[in-house]
């Protein structure tokens, strides 16, 4: 351990160890909870994302990826921005479901701003009502670089 830290910067050191595991924080800004159910389904033994190092964490300070579900409302926008700022770099954001991408059926509502990209930068958008857990896993694989360089 001391050998690695003496030759590499802390950021490079952290990015090396974070490469193999993705810790996910979930933010629900409202909606029908259909995408929340599919998100939880992706974490169950049926898809078994923990074998890939993916873990749901309870604090944004421990997360690498922020998963946003539901349309962004005026009430939720500040909370979403605060949570995004608490996640350490390098961080990625996944908008899961049509509502998180564009506002979905709630778009145009008096208190709906739209998709998550109206408040924070979004790296991956997964449309669908609800979004399928398999597509979510594919997005995680893309963020981890598995599709690009084989993991």
Looking at domain 31-144, which of 3.40.190.10, 3.40.50.300, 3.90.1150.10, 3.40.50.12280 is its CATH number?
3.40.50.12280
Continuous H helices in the chain: 2-7, 10-18, 34-43, 74-86, 98-102, 133-144, 146-149
Full-model pTM: 0.82
Nearest to 122, CA basis, from 63, 81, 150: 81
CA distance 49 to 134: 10
pLDDT (tens, 9 = 90+) of the chain, 151 residues, equals 344 444 445 555 455 545 668 899 999 988 889 999 999 988 888 888 887 788 999 999 999 999 999 999 999 999 999 999 999 988 999 999 999 999 999 999 999 999 999 999 999 999 989 988 888 888 888 877 765 555 4
């Amino acid at each position: 351990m001391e050998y690695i830290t003496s030759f590499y910067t802390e950021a490079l050191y952290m990015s090396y160890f974070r490469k193999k595991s993705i810790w996910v924080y979930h933010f629900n800004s409202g909606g029908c909870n259909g995408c929340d159910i599919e998100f939880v389904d992706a974490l169950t033994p049926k898809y078994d994302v923990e074998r890939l190092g993916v873990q749901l964490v309870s604090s944004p300070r421990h997360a690498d990826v922020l998963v946003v579900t539901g349309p962004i409302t005026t009430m939720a926008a500040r909370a979403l921005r605060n949570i995004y700022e608490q996640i350490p770099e390098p961080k990625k954001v996944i908008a899961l479901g049509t509502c998180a991408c564009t506002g979905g059926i709630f778009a145009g509502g008096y208190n709906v701003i739209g998709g998550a990209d109206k408040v924070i930068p979004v790296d991956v958008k997964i449309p669908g009502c609800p979004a399928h857990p398999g597509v979510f896993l594919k997005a995680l694989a893309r963020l981890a670089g598995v599709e690009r360089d084989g993991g």
